[in-house]
Amino acid sequence: MQKCKKPFIKLNLDIERLVIHVKFRPCIDIHQGKVKQIVGDTLTLTNQHVVENFVSEHDSPYYATMFKEDKLTGGHVIMLGDGNQETAIKALQAYPGGLQIGGGITTSNAKSYLEAGASHVIVTSYIFQDGELHLSRLKELVQEVGKDQLVIDLSCKEKDGKWYVVTDKWTKFTNFEINQSTIKEMESYCDEFLIHAVDVEGKRTGIQETLVKQLSQWVTIPTTYAGGVRSIEDLETFNHLSNGKLDITIGSALDIFGGSLPYDEVVAYCEKL
């Protein structure tokens, strides 16, 4: 009897589709109208005593164009405070559909950023008010832009051995704990998560390994981790701990932002995975 080869071929194709690997997500952080890299937990509502790792001589379209030429998708533009909208929109216009945007996103302005070229809007403080998750606001935002264009920022700090979302430029703890149950709940409202490990963000001291391991066990949608990467070795550790289930963004450590880690090497490393 002649064997049918089609099921075997189909199985191979299905396996290939299931292969997962770390994706490098670029970033453009904007503070006071300039592209900067800062130590995350030095941000304050008055912008006093902010520790700046790097202030770029280049504008935001310069970086957006670089990421476009390198075919990097799913990166993000973050507006750190007021007065950054014009600079952010210039980046979106330089790479239409290639970048997400966050910082001050509400139901009243979310669509305008999508119309300006953002692939997704990223939300935190708008849905977390007075330390609480306001589910009604989240549902309104989903109705306004759609689940498939929404990223929820669950950037967090550790307290008493648990992870809690922090808001208002990462200066205020909420009572929203990140765990398997809350991750599952939030996944029903968004397309992706963006999660900064605020305790190590901008400090180039290595990744928050416990958080990386736990997130990789909890999430089932695309999730980008940020915080602490300083070397290719850190990327290897991240890939191992996350089992390829999380994506990575790197800021201050990159040579394009004043660090020592070559941007080109990071791009090449993640392409090979």
Buried b (16+ CB within 10 A) or exposed e, 218-243: bbeebbbbbbbbbeeebbebbbebbe
- Using CA atoms, how far residue 178 sits from 64, 150, 199, in Å, is 31, 18, 15
8 Å CB contact between 259 and 39: no
Span 81-129, pLDDT tens digits: 899 999 999 999 999 999 999 999 999 999 999 999 999 999 999 999 9
Give the integer Cα–Cα distance in Å for 98 and 70: 11
- Tokens standing for residue 100: 């997400």
Task: Report the 10 Å Cβ neighbour count for 1.
Answer: 3
Span 181-203, pLDDT tens digits: 999 999 999 999 999 999 998 88
Specify the DSSP element, H or E, that contains 131. none
8 Å CB contact between 163 and 177: yes
In 98-228, which residue ranges form alpha helices assigned H by DSSP? 110-115, 135-145, 180-187, 209-218
8 Å CB contact between 26 and 270: no
Span 29-83, pLDDT tens digits: 999 999 998 865 566 545 556 788 899 999 999 999 999 999 999 999 999 889 9
Listed in sequence order, the residues at least 6 apart from 128 whose beta carbon sits closer than 8 Å to its beta carbon are 134, 165, 167, 174, 176
Listed in sequence order, the residues at least 6 apart from 236 whose beta carbon sits closer than 8 Å to its beta carbon are none
CATH 3.20.20.70 fits 22-272, yes or no: yes
Residue 201: what pLDDT? 85
User: What single letter denotes the amino acid at residue 82?
Assistant: D
Res. 162 pLDDT band, cuts 50 70 90 = very high
Domain residue spans in the chain?
Answer: 22-272
Q: pTM to 2 decimals?
A: 0.89
- Using CA atoms, how far residue 156 sits from 169, 194, 197, 267, in Å, is 11, 10, 6, 26
